[in-house]
Amino acid sequence: MTEHIDEPIHVAIAMNFSDEIINSLREISPKLHIERYWPEVPEHVWKDVEVLYTLRHFPLPEQAPKLRWIQLHSAGLDNVINQPIVKAEDVDITSTSGIHAGHMAEYCLMMMLAFEYKLPQMLAFKEKGEWPEKSHRIFSPYGLRDKVVGIVGYGSIGREIARLANAFGMRILASKRDVRQATLDGGYEEPDMGDPDASIPERIYPGSAIKSMASACDFLILTVPLTPDTTHLVNEDVLSAMKETAIIINVARGSVIDEEALISALAAGK
């Protein structure tokens, strides 16, 4: 038993991490035998790997008989869900769900502010080296206060968006799969962030009522994972219900939106 405990743990990192990051990981414990493999993992390596950190590189179960843990670089599971290794009974798979909440929420606030304060228009004129006549009409800001933001998917990212948007005086609506469950059902949570008890939104809609929520929104922010239920969640019906001035911010996977329906809506002047 003692001999087994003293054996190194073989960790493969299939990401292009810097030497600084790799060395800092090695300092965690002398038992960790950490190697970085990029852009490919040589086939002969798999037989000894016990822990794998990856985004897109996965072995077949028979290639990695010692593998016990796969840590994904992503919050979503769509890269791994159809891989044969998922069916291996003795392999745990974890994601980075929750760690992106702060950055993604700030990005969404940045985009809403950019649209409300006409930043795209300003940059377009800057590139042309021009300043328009009646610039006050083109660049006059509206601001975020009292604007309605609908958050599709009320997980860690959605809840932090709600917290920040609430500080700007926005009205917040949200949708989630199970409206009866207020708290998060897993994932990493930063202290003093988010909306732990789901008390910020004026109303929380079930997933089947996205169209109704979207019709009231000035901004619709998508934060859901990509699953069979969320593929093309924002479809022709949802788009047709939205205000012509509404803005969609998608920080989920692209396929959450029906692209053909979106193109048609834009062509029709939405």
CATH number at residue 26: 3.40.50.720
Q: Does residue 61 sit in the same domain as residue 155?
A: no
Same domain (yes/no): 62, 107? no
Last residue of a domain, one of 67, 94, 121: 94
**Structurally, how many domains does the chain consist of?**
2
The reported pLDDT for the residue numbered 184 is 76
Do 84 and 108 share a domain, yes or no? no
At position 58, the amino acid (one-letter code) is F
Same domain, 119 and 202: yes
SS3 at position 139:
helix
Q: What is the pLDDT of residue 2?
A: 44
Domain co-membership, 121 together with 231: yes
Same domain, 31 and 132: no
pTM score, two decimals?
Answer: 0.84
- 155 and 252 in a common domain: yes
Are 37 and 64 within 8 A, CB to CB?
no
Taken in order 251, 94, 227, 160, the sign of the CA dihedral is negative
Rounded Cα gap, residues 59 and 174, in angstroms? 39
3-class DSSP state of 105: helix
Which segments of the chain have a pLDDT < 50?
1-3
Considering the domain architecture, whether residues 30 and 62 belong to the same structural domain is answered as yes
What is the per-residue pLDDT across 146-188, written as a single tens digit (0 to 9) for each? 999 999 999 999 999 999 999 999 999 999 988 888 777 667 7
196 and 243 belong to one structural domain: yes
The domain in which residue 19 lies consists of 2-94
Amino acid present at 76: G
Contacts made by residues 69-76, CB under 8 angstroms, sequence distance 24+: 69/93, 69/94, 70/94, 71/95, 71/96, 72/96, 73/15, 75/99, 75/100, 75/187, 75/225, 76/225, 76/226, 76/253
CA atoms within a 13 Å half-sphere pointing along the CA-CB vector of 14:
21
Locate the DSSP E strands across 47-152.
Answer: 51-54, 69-72, 92-94, 148-152
> Are residues 54 and 78 part of one domain?
yes
State the pLDDT at residue 4.
59
